[in-house]
Amino acid sequence: MMKKRAMRKGMLVAPAPVRIGLSEEAAQATVEMVVVVPVLLVLALIVFNLMRFAAATARFDRVAPDIVIAHGVSTSGAEGAGLDDGGMGSIQSELERAMEGHDVEVDVSYADTEGEGVGTAVLSLAGALRTYSCTMMYRPWPSGLSIAGVSMGAPATLEHVREVTVDPWRPGVLV
């Protein structure tokens, strides 16, 4: 009613303010969310995989020397028949059993190394030291994810190696 009176008298009336700012702010938050959420998801996957690898590494470092001492020193009776694998089969199976909940692959190899004073005639009959190399391989999650024929998994494999040197002639001795 006041507007009509002002128009009759020839006065100018200011137009009502238009509320555009509210919708622009809401749209900006949506755009920010669309940009930030994928980055946060990738960071969360990286942290998740690093924590799983750290937990598996800690367990592997704790159990590998114990298993090598238990199974690498007292190998099976196949040594005299020339079929000795240095206990690698039993060490690998025990390591896989100990690492069951961590989704890792385990590989074991060994090499005979020269001990101190092996050059003398008497000590050369005793045998060499044995170094077991236990390798744990972790494939980050998701490794086999495929959407519409496009592989989305992590191509890398994280490896951790633990070497343990034992004397096969003296049980329980780490060198």
Q: What is the pLDDT of residues 91-145, one digit of tens each?
A: 999 999 999 999 999 999 988 876 554 455 555 556 678 899 999 999 988 776 6
| Residue where the block lists tokens 């750290």 | 54
* CA separation for the pair 161, 107 (Å, rounded): 9
Q: What pLDDT, on a 0 to 100 scale, did the predictor assign at position 133?
A: 95
pTM check: above 0.85 = no
Tell me the CA distances in angstroms from 26 to 18, 21, 33, 120, one per residue in order: 16, 9, 11, 84
* CA separation for the pair 132, 171 (Å, rounded): 15
Tell me the CA distances in angstroms from 121 to 1, 47, 62, 71, 91, one per residue in order: 121, 56, 38, 29, 32
Task: Give the chain's mean pLDDT.
Answer: 78
Question: Worst-scoring range by mean pLDDT, 8-12, 41-45, 90-94, 117-121?
Answer: 117-121
133 close to 165: Cβ distance less than 8 angstroms: no
3-class DSSP state of 146: strand
* CA separation for the pair 77, 158 (Å, rounded): 36
Burial 109-123 (b: 16+ CB within 10 A, else e): ebeeeebeeeeeeee
Cis peptide before 65 (omega within 30 of 0): no
Q: Which two tokens stand for residue 136?
A: 């744990």
> Band of the pLDDT at 12, cuts 50, 70, 90?
low
